[in-house]
Each structure stands twice: as structure tokens, then as C-alpha cells.
Structure 1
Amino acid sequence: MKDVAQSVGVSVTTVSHALNGTRFVDQATKNRVLKCVQELGYVPNILAQSLKGKGTKTIGIIVSDISETFFSEIVKSIEKTAGEEGYNIMLCDSEGSSEKEDLYIHLLLQKGADGLIIAPVDQYKEFQWENQTSKPYVQIDRKIQKAKGSFIGIDNAGSAQRAVEILIENGCQKIGFIGYKDLFYTMGERRRGYLNALESAGLPPYQFISEHRGESLDSLAVWMRQVCPDGLLCTNEVLSYYALLAAEENKVDVPQDLKIIGYDDARWLSLLKTPLTVLRQPTEEIGRSAIQKIIELIGGTCPEGRKDIIHNWEMVVRESCGSQNKK
């Protein structure tokens, strides 16, 4: 910064104000400073600014699988809104590992992130670090019940219950649930909604619970041959795709013999041989709410304390559920 000040012929303080907008600097001087910065290739020391109490204008994001359409769309929304507000993001993928999540949390805090947006892996764990730092955070899609950070997502139990009700309305009597362990908050809630709908209808549950994300398609195909369900609720886009492949492998016609409803509206799902009915989550709105909330917390313009934000979901009806007009 001293080199820039010397070259332009102004004080270091003036250069700082011109770059950070912390005090009025006439436009001609500001233009000279910016031109000199480009010519000299000057890069501000963000961590040094953080130590002076100015913050880094950086927000850390941790999701469990960036390859999923749901999370990639949320991150895209967060990045867009963050840029409009003058913030940058640092993105980490925990790959569904609680250990990696903890590692990334500490790494992002060490790198000077002003706040965090997290999709927690384990709803039963505790964020030990939240009592050791003043940095704010919010939870998206998933939440830890005892955590202090606000949650932003949808009514998972209610959406799953409605999906099962539609399958029942369309004649299904043997409805299966395809999901992961209840370690994920969303899975536990969707399973709860599934069971509530079946209990109300007096129907028994049939559940395929994958122990890990990489469990083979063959296992699902075998389970479907053994159970012979006439309806399925699949809890994410990958499991929905696996269910369609397993049905094809077992020579089961969808939707004539098996009706399927899934979660998340990846673009390719509408292009399948049998377009998939899905519960669409408002990813853009979730991302925007998350970044706005964390910026408010960073700036001290939002009251402390947890306040969850629940967005509406939408049923996108296609051929796989055997109905064209159920909502």
C-alpha cells in the first residue's frame, strides 16, 4: 500500500479509504489509486484487515455433496447474492463425513471467515466450537437440534406425508421408503412423514435404508424384487434414479406397476424415459435467505437467537406417479 501511495502522491490513509470506501475520496484521486493498484498488481492483505477488526468480507460454506443438484443450486444462489453484497465465499464439501465437516469448520475460521453457512451431517452431534468463537453461522437443509444457529429449509415431514398420500390416492397399497440413515436431519423428518401417512391409512411400512451413500444399485434391485412395492418415496435425486434403474432391471413398468415420487428437480429427471414426479425445493430462495441472514448476523443488524425460516415446497407432477393433476 505504501508503494501505491508513493506512486500516486497521496497518503497511505487516503489509499486505504479509496480502496475500502471507508471515507470520502474525490473521484479523480480514487481513479488514480485504482489505476496504480492495477499497474502494480497490489493485493490487499485480507487477514491483516481482519486482525484490525474490519472483517474479511468472506463467508465459508460447507455442504455434504456439491455434485447434488440441490446443493449446487443453493451455492450458486448464495454466491450471486454474496457478490451483490460485496462478499466472497469459500466452499467446502464434507462428502457426508462428520470428521471432514469439523476439519473444514476450523479451517474456515482460521482463514478468517466472517461467518459460516453449514449443511450439518449429523443431527445428533454438538457444535463444540460454537462456544469458542463469536463468529455467526446458519444451517441449511439440515440442522442440529441443540445448535444455536438458525435453520433454513422446508417442512420435510409435511412434504413426505403429502407425497405418500398422493401415492395412496393413485391406488398404491404397498409403499416403500428409499433413504439413508436418520443421521441426516432431512432423512429422519422425511421418514417420519412417510410413517405418519401410512399410519393414517392403516398401511404397513416397507423401508430400504442405505447404510452409506455408495451402496450399490444391485442391493436396491434385490430389495425391490423381494418386497414388490407398488409405490416408492425416494428421498433424493440419486436414489430416485437408482429406483428407476432397478425397476427397469426388474422389468417393472413405471407407472403402470410401480409409482414413484422423488425429491429435488434436477433438470435431467424430466428427460428420463418415464419423467419423474418430484417435490421441488426452492433452492434459490433457500440460498438467498441463508446469505442474507448471515450478513445480518455479521453486521449486527439481526437479533441474536435462533429463528428458523421454513420455505414452501412444490409438487411437480409428471408421469412416474401415475397422475397428471394431483397437488
Structure 2
Amino acid sequence: MNKKPVTMKDIALKAGVSVTTVSHVISKTRNVAQETRELVLRTLEELDYQQPESRQSQKKPALDRIGVITADIQEDYYILLVKTIETIASENNISVLFCDSADDEEKEARNIGMMLNKNVNGLIIAPVGLGPYPGPLRAADVPVVLVNRQYARHNTSFVGINNADSALRGTEYLAGKGCRRIGFIGYPETVYTMQQRVAGYRLGAMQHFPGEAPRVLHLRYSKEDSFHLIKEFLAEHRPDGLLCGTSDLCYQVIAVVEDLGLRIPEELKILTYDDNKWLDYLRYPVSVITQPTVEIGCQAVERIIHLAENRHVGRRTKTEILFDVQIIDRLK
């Protein structure tokens, strides 16, 4: 009988660390504390973990080829997500076809059509906008899992976080640090994550500062005028706390803050989503709302395998699998 291959989950459980940490050690995507890194490496050796590409063929799974469509691969979040999906899919002998929609709904529609024409057995999609579930997906007999973002109406599975609650917690965090003029910078609310995060921020602002108007700036993805818009926003509202909707937006904010000569965290405390490598090299602290991206990617693959294996069992219903977030407090 063939021995079941060791997975990243097995390593994480044995070592007592998160799957994210194991992924970072294997892929070298982030620095990991030396002691933890050595523990993971010892566990890898002890359990004889092998990279997916070196594994021999196993029993054919319920699906052998999936398509992955991201909203915008330039976002740091999706780089790690796609890497995780590919790794876990390979561990299950599943090939991955990938394409990016570049935040263009028409391109997304073409990508979906192309994937269906390639006869993929399943699709993992991060939708561009909040529109209705695409007709071609409803017509196709293919399991679909939505990840990070979701359509306004659908009857499939979504894997991600509670975006509204995470932004509420982020606003409460900044208020707890003494901020009294908290702002939010995000992309248009036609994007699911931004709609939810703005809603959470507004609720937090209303609870802590009743009677004050929320301070929200929506930027276009094109970025051609972001610098000036952020500069005007900071000058008009003079926030002492700022919640950035993505790490990419935080990067743009940092450029403006440097230009204005604002002191962080004395004059402006910043909290952003997603811990990025470049944050380690700032000379001032920026706190982070971390998403368990690796766990989300693992769950997305596990879920699509489950749907493929049970595709004719019962009526499809909307399912949300939500992971908790953590706040890395660098303002201590």
C-alpha cells in the first residue's frame, strides 16, 4: 500500500507552528526566526517531506486540472495565495492553469470562457467586482470556489476573512492607541473586500466618534493621480490614525508621508492589511492586520476537491468559510 505523502499541514502540526510559517520556510518568502526555522527544517527531515514536483504519481483524484483566476496578481496577497494553491494542488496531483484579470471585468469574462474551453475540472476565482454570478459558470457543470472576493449573489463556496469585522477591529485598535481622527484609504467599493472593509471602518468610527463624519478616500487602481489625492486627503482631514485597505495602498501612503515629512507614529499611526517584506525595512513602526493567506489557499483547494467529489450530492448552496485575522502591534 502506498504511503500517503507528507503535507505542509502535517509538518505544521508536528512542529507546533502555522501552515503559513512552514510555507515561508519552504518557499523562502519571508524571514522566519532562526529557532523556528531550524525546528521546521528538522521536522521536514524527520517526516521526510518532499517537494510536490518530485513525488511519484498517485491515485488519480476526482479532478486533475483546475483553473485559477485572480483579480490582480500585482497585489501582494495574490502572489502568496497562488503559490499556496499551486503547492497544495501539486500535493494532490492536480495541475493548475493560471490567468489574471488585471481588475478588468471584461477580461475576467474572457478568462472564465477560456478556462471552460480548456475543460478544467474546477475553478478557483477571485472576482474583480461585485456583479452577479456569471452566466457561463451557472451553465457549466464545474465546481467553483471563490477566494478573497466574492460576487454579490452566488450558490457556491467562498473562502476568505470577515472583512467588515477585521476593519472594525482595526479601527478599534487605532482608537485604543489614542487616535481621534482616523481615516481609511481604499479602492472603489465595487470591490467586495473594499465594500466590506469600508463598512467595518464606518461602524467603528461611528461607535468611537459619534457625530463625526467618516474620513474615506477611494483611489483608482490606475494610480496615475494617487500621490496627489493622498496628499490632499491628509492635508484636508489631518488624520492621526490611518487604516490602509491593502499593503499596496500603504506603500503609496508611505511615499506621501515621506514627502510631507510627517513623523510616524508621533503624528500619524498607520495600520495596514497584509504584512509585506518591505515593512521590515522601514525606520518607523507600521502595524498590520494579517490574513492567514496560506491557510486560505489550502482551504480553497481542499474545498474544490470536496465539491468535485460530491458534485452530484444535494443542491448547491452558498457557503462561507471565514478565517480569523491577527493584528501585529508594532506601536507598543
TM-score by length of 1: 0.78
User: 1:272 is matched with which residue: 282, 286, 293?
Assistant: 282
Other-structure match for 1:74? 81
Other-structure match for 2:52? none
Residues 121 and 143, structure 2, Cα contact 8 Å, conserved in 1: yes
Question: Could you tell me which amino acid in structure 1 is paired with residue 262 of structure 2?
Answer: V
User: 1:206 is matched with which residue: 215, 222, 229?
Assistant: 215
Distance (Å, rounded) in 2 between the aligned partners of 1:56 and 1:294: 9
1:149-164 alignment to 2 at 5 Å? 149-164=156-171
1:220-231 alignment to 2 at 5 Å? 220-231=230-241
String of CA shifts for 1:77-96, please: whole Å, max 9, x gaps: 11111011110101111011
In the alignment, is residue 120 of structure 1 matched against residue 145 of structure 2?
no
Which shows bigger deviation, 204-213 or 256-265?
A: 204-213
* Alpha-carbon offset, residue 193 of structure 1: 0.5
SS in 2 for 1:104: helix
Specify whether residues 176 and 135 from structure 1 end up closer, same or farther in structure 2 by C-alpha distance, changes over 3 A only. same
Question: Could you tell me which amino acid in structure 2 is paired with residue 209 of structure 1?
Answer: H
Other-structure match for 1:31? none
* Alpha-carbon offset, residue 55 of structure 1: 8.0
Distance (Å, rounded) in 2 between the aligned partners of 1:128 and 1:99: 14
In the alignment, is residue 60 of structure 1 matched against residue 72 of structure 2?
no
Other-structure match for 1:13? none
User: 1:307 is matched with which residue: 283, 306, 319?
Assistant: 319
Question: Could you tell me which amino acid in structure 2 is paired with residue 155 of structure 1?
Answer: N
Distance (Å, rounded) in 2 between the aligned partners of 1:86 and 1:280: 30
Other-structure match for 1:263? 273
In the alignment, is residue 88 of structure 1 matched against residue 100 of structure 2?
no
In the alignment, is residue 197 of structure 1 matched against residue 209 of structure 2?
no
Residues 178 and 233, structure 1, Cα contact 8 Å, conserved in 2: yes
* Alpha-carbon offset, residue 147 of structure 1: 1.3
Residues 122 and 144, structure 2, Cα contact 8 Å, conserved in 1: yes
Distance (Å, rounded) in 1 between the aligned partners of 2:168 and 2:317: 30
* Alpha-carbon offset, residue 66 of structure 1: 1.5
Distance (Å, rounded) in 1 between the aligned partners of 2:86 and 2:247: 23
String of CA shifts for 1:109-157, please: whole Å, max 9, x gaps: 1011111000011113331112311111010001113112211000111
Other-structure match for 2:227? 217
SS in 1 for 2:239: coil
Distance (Å, rounded) in 2 between the aligned partners of 1:198 and 1:110: 47
Greater Rg by CA: 1
Unaligned runs of 5+ in 1: 1-53
* Alpha-carbon offset, residue 67 of structure 1: 2.5
Moved over 6 A (4+): none
Q: Tell me how large the CA RMSD over aligned residues is.
A: 1.7
String of CA shifts for 1:194-215, please: whole Å, max 9, x gaps: 0001111114311111133424
SS in 2 for 1:171: coil
In the alignment, is residue 170 of structure 1 matched against residue 177 of structure 2?
yes
User: 1:147 is matched with which residue: 148, 154, 163?
Assistant: 154
String of CA shifts for 1:268-314, please: whole Å, max 9, x gaps: 21221223211000011000000111111122277632221001111
Question: Could you tell me which amino acid in structure 2 is paired with residue 315 of structure 1?
Answer: I
SS in 1 for 2:114: helix
Distance (Å, rounded) in 1 between the aligned partners of 2:156 and 2:134: 10
Residues 77 and 284, structure 1, Cα contact 8 Å, conserved in 2: yes
Distance (Å, rounded) in 2 between the aligned partners of 1:222 and 1:305: 45
In the alignment, is residue 289 of structure 1 matched against residue 293 of structure 2?
no
Distance (Å, rounded) in 1 between the aligned partners of 2:132 and 2:115: 19
Question: Could you tell me which amino acid in structure 1 is paired with residue 80 of structure 2?
Answer: E
Residues 234 and 260, structure 1, Cα contact 8 Å, conserved in 2: yes
Residues 174 and 204, structure 1, Cα contact 8 Å, conserved in 2: no
How many percent of aligned residue pairs carry the same amino acid?
A: 34
